[in-house]
Amino acid sequence: MPNQSQDFFAMSGAEVSPHLSWSSMLLFNYGHNSLVRNDSNGNRVNSLVEHHGTAHLLLSLGLLDVLEIGLDVPLIVLQQGSGLPVGLEQASFGIGDVRVVPKLQIFSTRERYDSNGVALALLVDTHLPTGDSTSLQGGDFRIGPRLAFDAVIGGPRLGVNVGYLYRAATQLENLSVRDTISWNAGMEVPLGERFSLTGELMGRVTPGAEEIRSDESPTELLAGGKLRLGGFLATLGGGAGLINGYGTPDFRLFAGLGWASPRPVEEAVVEPTPECTEASLDIDCNEVPPARCEEGVLRTYRAGCAEGECTYTFDESHCADGTLCGEHHGQASCVDAPPECVEHDECNALPAPSCTEGVLTTYAGQCLDGSCEYVANQITCADDMECGREGGIAMCVEKTLVVVDEEAKRIHISEVIHFAFDSSQIDGRSFGLLNQVAKVLQDNLHITHVRIEGHTDNVGRHGYNVRLSQERAAAVRTYLFERGVDANRLNTVGLGPDRPIDTNETDAGRTSNRRVEFHIEVKNN
């Protein structure tokens, strides 16, 4: 990987370098028998690439603390083999496929590179076709995403990579090279602050293959160490092929020297000089606030020393009866309280009037022996009044005759609306009731449409009763309109004797049936 200061060997870690931090390394990698020809029995016939040495120029740059750009420029300095197929040339020197590796960190729970926590990153390996395909030195474009996860647990770091590499299918004799799924698993164990040991297992499989073949599923083990002195970085290691597929040598050796931006070092915490000690409390903590009165309570302070810092705590005392918190010789203390009053009119902190079980209670203030006393006076409201509130103050008010029941879609009235006999003229004794209906409608503008229903008993002709009930409903609508209710909110209907609520066989029943009802038709929320 391009950033050997934070990655494993061939496997990527999930951390990215801080903004504008960079690293560089020249790494030499030697592989023995990385591409061989076997017969049908698996016996080795010859080695197409027996000795393969590459010098890698590795560069990386961190951006915005979440992105890292890596670059791997391979220079082939040694390549020897035998038995190349027709059309291929032996070459011992050349440039391989340049690899660009952007890495985006998805999340990290670590505060520092080596602190406990987990991290996840997304990489895109992009191989540019800068090598020579006729010399087995690359030459084909490849690209693939890769997920990198790692976790630091008490020092050691564990990592896993999984990726998919897209490439054009090529054929070399009986070897088919196509898209592959790559995997890596590794561990890094720090031995002090400067040195660490790293072990890594890596491999790849061909998902489109008809069968699993060892030559298309190579697996390799890497192990080695890294030394870091300030910004200087050295790496040394080797590996062995466990399943010798194409590109996996019998063994490999690698070593590198490089430089990386030094990792941030936590500054040593300097313990502050204690402000005080218990032994010298009176000298060290001598800024004790003076006593003072807080909402009639005497507050006094005392000094203390907690964890080397002066603290000032307070005690609160309530003054005894007949005294209050005030000043004596310039200091806060409990002093004799002056008389609360001299005259009756000074006792004006009257409790608010209240209604209890329909009885109005008011209060009068009296000055007795220098103290205010408030005497309750209970008042029973007149028959046509009740104890209620007006302007937020309890008092005797007109009885509430009208109640809105939005659940039942009704406006209930507790009295009957009276009309002149056999007429639609409203009797004056119902004006107060209708005034309350008008006020309720004006106070509840969300009730946009009300249906006024007129009803009669069954005495007389049916058609006449229906007409009379309609005229009475219309008279009520006119009255409410004259009291400021929008006429568009009011609809009327006369139902005559068709909807009785009581029997028509008795005077009392017929009286109940002669009525006006208010029904809520439309309301806004």
In order of 30, 60, 139, 159, 192, the CA distances from 167 in angstroms are: 25, 25, 11, 26, 42
* Mean pLDDT value across residues 86-101: 80
Check residues 35 and 428 and name the one with the higher pLDDT.
428
What confidence score (pLDDT) does residue 267 get?
Answer: 61
CATH 3.30.1330.60 fits 402-523, yes or no: yes
Rounded to whole angstroms, the Cα distance separating 466 from 372 reads: 67
Q: Which of 259, 260, 256, 261 is nearest to 26 (CA)?
A: 256
pLDDT in tens, 4-57: 888 999 999 999 999 999 999 999 999 888 876 776 676 777 777 788 899 999
Any idea which of 65-79, 210-224, 468-482, 493-507 has the lowest mean pLDDT?
210-224
Q: What pLDDT does 175 receive?
A: 64
Alpha-carbon span 261 to 249, nearest angstrom: 33
Distance CA 482, CA 477 (A): 9
Give the residue with greater pLDDT, 223 vs 341.
223
Judged against a pLDDT cut of 80, whether residue 139 lies above it is answered with no
pLDDT exceeds 80 at position 431: yes
Q: What is the mean pLDDT of residues 71-100?
A: 82
Q: What is the pLDDT of residue 68?
A: 94
More confident of the two residues 513 and 281: 513
Q: Within the chain, which residue ranges are assigned CATH 2.40.160.40?
A: 22-245
Q: Residue 91's closest CA among 136, 34, 40, 155?
A: 136
Report the percent of the chain where pLDDT is more than 90: 44
Answer yes or no: are the C-beta atoms of 417 and 476 closer than 8 Å: yes
State which amino acid sits at residue 187: M
CA pair distance 419, 479, nearest whole angstrom: 13
Could you tell me the pLDDT band of residue 491, with boundaries at 50, 70 and 90? very high
E strand spans, 369-489 = 371-380, 385-390, 393-398, 402-405, 410-413, 447-455
pLDDT (mean) for 216-238: 91
- What does the angle CA 161 – CA 119 – CA 235 come to, to the nearest 5 degrees? 60
On the question of pLDDT at 137 being above 90, the answer is no
**pLDDT tens digits for 375-409?**
888 888 887 788 888 788 888 877 778 888 888 89
Q: How much is the pLDDT for 173?
A: 60
At 130, give phi and psi (nearest 5°). Answer: -95, -10
3-state helix, strand, coil in the chain (%, to 5): 10, 50, 40
Q: Which amino acid is at 519?
A: H
Tell me how far apart the alpha carbons of residues 166 and 126 are, in angstroms, rounded to a whole number. 10
| Weakest mean pLDDT among 47-51, 500-504, 512-516 | 47-51
Higher pLDDT, 400 or 438: 438
Please state the CATH superfamily assignment of the domain spanning residues 22-245 in this structure.
monomeric porin ompg (2.40.160.40)
pLDDT digits (tens, 9 = 90+) for 61-81: 999 999 999 999 999 988 887
| Parts of the chain belonging to CATH 3.30.1330.60 | 402-523
SS3 category, 430: helix
Q: Is the dihedral of CA 112, 116, 120, 125 positive or negative?
A: positive
Q: Does 353 score more than 70 pLDDT? A: yes
Band of the pLDDT at 193, cuts 50, 70, 90?
Answer: confident
